[in-house]
Chain A
């Protein structure tokens, strides 16, 4: 039997890991490919990276697949773990891959503080708007009105605008793209890796099994079509009224700026101390 595997499979993933845990139609494969294409495009060795993930479907993107150092942590904490990894290995690229529930609910405080510190991490936040792995519960990213298993009468709370929040907290680079925009997403991840400072790429992704059903949008194809039809470029969105933007997904770059970065500041302090001795 001939097996046709993507060239990135052999180059960057553990050959002995043969199965994924994702449901049919999941957007995680698209996000994973966007990450690996970004690394490939930069001609970086995967050993130049340490991947850190939390709990939830998308935390399984690097672990167990990527053939690199991977740290699969407790729920909500990957950014906190990654901060220690980065301060210990300032010359490595440290990438966090995790979901919206992990990074904005239970781990929300770590996320905004890492952005404030502007520690040089690349965070790929896979936002499917729901808790997929545990069976479709409401997340802080679930749009109001959607009926989930824990909001059977419709979600009543407003949802986070993750990219705007992380941008306001002080990150150097923030971008949002959907799985309908894989090339833009990959370019944003590449920019995030290159950026000296905290970079967040919000990857809006389809969970047809949970979100597609709850929102009644439908399966993977319908969800991708929904992303296509409801995405608004940020430059265009800036000129639109809030009512016009209701239900829309604003895509593009939210921040791209040069700010003091934490590990560089630590390196400078230590070298000043050594010279002053």
Chain B
């Protein structure tokens, strides 16, 4: 296996950010654009070295706006494209996250979240972009966001992000944070034949785009990728199934918003993944990403003290695993939502669970620090009294 191999099969002891970069390459990514930003820089740094080795391109752009725009352009050119940044970069990218959603562009966006608001603290993680990745661009749309909890999942979920992006023609987030990005752990890369890869369906030639539906199909329209004589008409302005602009027909406006949303929600069972250990629990700890590590440790401590505490981890937080949250709420007396922020997913989770059980929120003892499992346990005991 030379350095020009896309898949570095073996057992590695590496950074989460390394896992993300190698996951992208293993998934077939051949275009990455980015702008330097802590704590995401290692991903772009590694890809700048690795992509040319695998016949691919890395572009360092003048800003994050240009990074996402060129990645979208490359995706329409037929590439598997990705951009990598942290929260401040996501703020700049929001305009064209909406563009990718509106034009049904396959794209992977990695957000290694950091402490904010604003310039905040570059090297400290905070899971506080969790709503902005889904709701930050103007207008109404849905995206997919995956939440790794370990360097291994930085590899696994980056591949999954590419597969979902290709399958559903949507922007997909890998929502990591500074802790996971800079954490060094075992990463196992399986042999190539055990890595499942999805590729987009491509539209067939037609005399005119009017003879073909390139957009707004809940079952995912084949993509009229550029450079193949397909004469694609791509605009983020309100358009019909053929991609042609229509700013006057209310029915078209309705479909332009609804169909891409329905495309994701209709397939939510294929997209949403949770890991649950709820069985006989009286109280369940709900979390995603880094915090899940503390949640699991706290649940173990509680069990050792005879307390029936379970866990529900959201591997995808968007679309919200509403059914899974409701199902857990129906089986327990209490739910404790853990986030490394002031409670961003909490209202969404509470809306799905408060009818059935008591629901509370717990941020870390100090924002930006990892939840101490003993601190979680104190709260659990208080709730179970």
A interface list, Cβ under 8 A from B: 14-17, 47, 50, 52, 63-64, 67-74, 77, 80-89, 92, 109-110, 113, 266, 269-270, 273-274, 277
Closest B-chain residue to A76, C-beta based? B65
Task: Please choose the segment from B77-85, B175-183, B263-271, B308-316 that sits at the chain A interface, where 4 or more of its residues have CB less than 8 A away.
Answer: B77-85
Separation in Å of the A246 CB from the closest CB of chain B? 33
| Known contacts A47-B231, A70-B233; A277/B2 CB under 8 A | yes
User: Does B38 sit at the interface, judged by CB under 8 A?
Assistant: no
Partner of A109, one of B63, B209, B224: B63
Give a binary string over B80-97; 1 marks a CB under 8 Å from any A CB, 0 the rest. Answer: 010000000000000110
Complex Cα distance, B81 from A17, in Å, reads 32
Question: What residues on A are CB-neighbors of B62 within 8 Å?
Answer: 109-110, 113
- A274 and B244: CB pair below 8 A? no
Complex Cα distance, B224 from A80, in Å, reads 20
- B4 and A277: CB pair below 8 A? yes
6 closest Cβ pairs, A-B complex: A88-B77, A84-B73, A84-B70, A80-B69, A84-B74, A72-B235
Question: What residues on B are CB-neighbors of A72 within 8 Å?
Answer: 233-237, 245
Q: How large is the interface on B (under 10, 10 to 19, 20 to 34, 35 or more residues)?
A: 35 or more
- A83 and B70: CB pair below 8 A? yes
Question: What residues on B are CB-neighbors of A14 within 8 Å?
Answer: 208-209, 231, 233
| Known contacts A72-B236, A80-B66, A273-B4; A50/B210 CB under 8 A | no
- A68 and B231: CB pair below 8 A? yes
Partner of A83, one of B59, B63, B244: B59
User: Does B76 sit at the interface, judged by CB under 8 A?
Assistant: yes
User: Does B53 sit at the interface, judged by CB under 8 A?
Assistant: yes
Partner of A74, one of B33, B75, B99: B99
Partner of B81, one of A50, A67, A77, A84: A84
Chain B positions 98-122 with a Cβ under 8 Å from a chain A Cβ: 99
- A274 and B55: CB pair below 8 A? yes
User: Does B57 sit at the interface, judged by CB under 8 A?
Assistant: yes
Closest A-chain residue to B102, C-beta based? A74
Closest B-chain residue to A60, C-beta based? B245
| Known contacts A14-B208, A266-B57; A85/B226 CB under 8 A | yes
Question: What residues on B are CB-neighbors of A270 within 8 Å?
Answer: 52, 55-57
Complex Cα distance, B76 from A29, in Å, reads 28
Q: Which residue among B3, B61, B78 has the maximum number of chain A CB atoms within 10 Å of its CB? A: B61
- B236 and A273: CB pair below 8 A? no
Q: Which residue among A16, A73, A109 has the maximum number of chain B CB atoms within 10 Å of its CB? A: A73
| Known contacts A80-B70, A84-B33, A85-B226; A63/B65 CB under 8 A | no
Closest B-chain residue to A47, C-beta based? B229
Separation in Å of the B211 CB from the closest CB of chain A? 10
User: Does B31 sit at the interface, judged by CB under 8 A?
Assistant: yes
Interchain Cβ contacts under 8 Å between A and B, 20 examples: A14-B209, A14-B233, A50-B77, A63-B233, A71-B234, A72-B234, A74-B95, A74-B236, A81-B70, A83-B59, A84-B70, A85-B76, A87-B77, A88-B76, A88-B77, A88-B81, A88-B227, A266-B57, A273-B53, A277-B2
- A71 and B76: CB pair below 8 A? yes
Closest A-chain residue to B229, C-beta based? A47
User: Does B307 sit at the interface, judged by CB under 8 A?
Assistant: no
Separation in Å of the B278 CB from the closest CB of chain A? 44
Question: What residues on B are CB-neighbors of A273 within 8 Å?
Answer: 4, 52-53, 55
Complex Cα distance, B236 from A274, in Å, reads 38
